[in-house]
Structure 1
Amino acid sequence: MVIAGPIDAYVTSLRGALRGPRSAKADLLTEARDGLTDAAEHYESTGLPRLAAERLAVADFGPVADIAPEYQRELALTQARRTAALVGAAVAAQSLVSELAWRHESTSWTWQPNNLYALLANTVDYAAYAVVAAALLAALACGIGARYVTVGRSFARATGIAAIVVVAFFIAGGILLSAFSPAWTSHSGTGISAWNAAASAATMTLPVWMTVSGLRCVRAAAA
């Protein structure tokens, strides 16, 4: 049976305390292990036995309970950055596909939207612009912007919750716009066009992806 040394035991404990994107978590753990190994090798070069050198390196590094919060903050912000970028790209793509589908299908309509429908459509459109802009700013704040503004796990949590709210808003808006649109019945019995198929695929796939990413964001911020 192989007995883990102090460094291996420490890194294992740190791994269990962290939640977040796998690749980012692996990078942080590798960085921690490398730092501990370098410190142990330094102590070993002064004449200490390897086991004692590792123990001293671990003691210098600090308890997992003290180190984990800062590592977790970094993981939460990484997930928040990914979530914000996903939301911005997904909402922009979904809006573009929906707009193209609408323009393609509306060429054969004589129907004119009433004021209430036009208000709803404009609200959804402008909300999409606002979401894309806000998502870009959030992604920047969690990345390069972290050098200039202070953001932490509460910001990451808010980003995750916002992603879920965005999904709920656009699902509700999409359902209402579809329900009161002539496109709801104009293709009855004739199948759907390629544009409608693309819009439907985006409508069903992207919200699931955004919701999962938002939940991961909340989990990383709460760990």
Structure 2
Amino acid sequence: AIYGAGSFVAYSYVRYKTPWCIISFGWPFLFLFGAAGLLVRPKNLRKVYVATGVLLILSLGRSIWLNYFKCSSPDEPYAYVQTYNDIFKLTKPLLTLAKRDPLYYHLTGHLIRSSVYPLPWILGDFDRVGYYEGGNMPANLDADFLLVQQDKIKQVESKLKGAYYTDTLTIRNYQDPSKLYLSAKIFKEFFPGKAPDFVGKQPNQMQNVP
């Protein structure tokens, strides 16, 4: 009880919150809550139940608000290195195609940037996705989709031949933005009436590209 209460006070005082620390001091409160039934007088049990119910409802509301509405807000102290909803720019159209037809699980993708998690977990069923860090590049840069680190964009675009819809995508805070490329041939249904944002150089235009 002393350990749990002491940790709770210390954690409440520290402004910087690391969410998984709660695991280390949350369990002592199970004993306190379990003993509450013995410590509270029978005539006050109803008040305790009402107070507990109110606290649980408030906690549930706060949890829903945090997980579904403020999950990636930089102003939220409990959203620690949280993935931004920006990743849906890639995952939503990609998973929509794959759920419609399993053949789309064989699309080719190049993720050319450092620290792309959680995308490897989300794209685990796609068997032709390559992850390139530390300056590595695929031999053929054209793919059905690409995610390119900011400082690699110029190098990659100089060697692309296909037509792509593009967008800026930031995986999480404390990370530079990436540029997303979606093949116009594969993803055109998600951009009705829109021309590709980027069209690569044709072979005769690339002869002088180093």
Classify the TM-score, shorter chain: under 0.3
More strand by share: 2
More helix by share: 1
In the superposition, the TM-score normalised over structure 1's length comes to 0.24
In the superposition, the TM-score normalised over structure 2's length comes to 0.25
